[in-house]
A = this chain, B = another copy of it.
Amino acid sequence: MSDQTLNDLFLHQLKDTYFAENAILKAIPTLMDASTSDDLKLALGVHLDETSGQIKRLEEVFGIIGAKPEGVECKAILGIIAEGEEVIEEFAGSEALDAGIIAAAQAVEHYEITRYGTLYAWANQLGLDEAAELLKDTLIEEENTDQILSDLAESSVNEEADQD
């Protein structure tokens, strides 16, 4: 396998991220349903819509490099989502549930931030300018979502959880 290049690594990572985004698309409604805060439900709903757009951008990037959009199992995102589901189960009915949901969603966001950050850097190094722009658009959205979740955590949600 010693003839593999950054192009191969880029495609591998693209498939991993494509799998991850599709897994996230299925997982967000579970987080929304479990949330008790309307603001949190709203923020997750906005990110659900964004995720659909991010999947379309990844499909455009596949097209740019002449590859078929397909996923490769991403154990990382499956583990991150499984942990979120465990917290929802364990803290169901608890005043700390929303804080746990925010933490789970931020773990998802940080996984996406690191993957899109890497893909963006590699696209630049490979001279894939159009792909780099698409990946950067998503990276900015992910960073914004993470910030919105941090703001939510620091405002009402955690304060409610800490009242007793």
Majority DSSP secondary structure for residues of A touching B: helix
- The proximity string for A residues 91-105 relative to B, scoring 1 for CB distances below 8 Å and 0 otherwise, is 111111001101100
Closest to A85 in B: B75
B125 contacts A114, C-beta separation under 8 Å: no
Instruction: Give the number of copies in the complex.
Output: 2
B96 contacts A13, C-beta separation under 8 Å: no
Query: Which of A51-59, A63-71, A151-159 forms part of the interface with chain B?
Result: A151-159
Count of chain A residues with a beta carbon within 8 Å of a chain B beta carbon: 54
Query: Complex formed: what's the CA distance from A75 to B94 in Å?
Result: 23
* Contact of A125 (CB < 8 Å), options: B93, B109, B113, B162: B162
Query: Complex formed: what's the CA distance from A74 to B78 in Å?
Result: 12
Closest to A8 in B: B96
B87 contacts A82, C-beta separation under 8 Å: no
A1 contacts B150, C-beta separation under 8 Å: no
Q: Which residues of B contact A1 (CB under 8 A)?
A: 90-94
**Which A residues contact B (CB, under 8 angstroms)?**
1-6, 8-9, 12-13, 16, 74-80, 82-83, 87, 90-96, 99-100, 102-103, 106-107, 109-111, 113-115, 117-118, 121-122, 125-126, 150, 153-154, 158-159, 161-162, 164
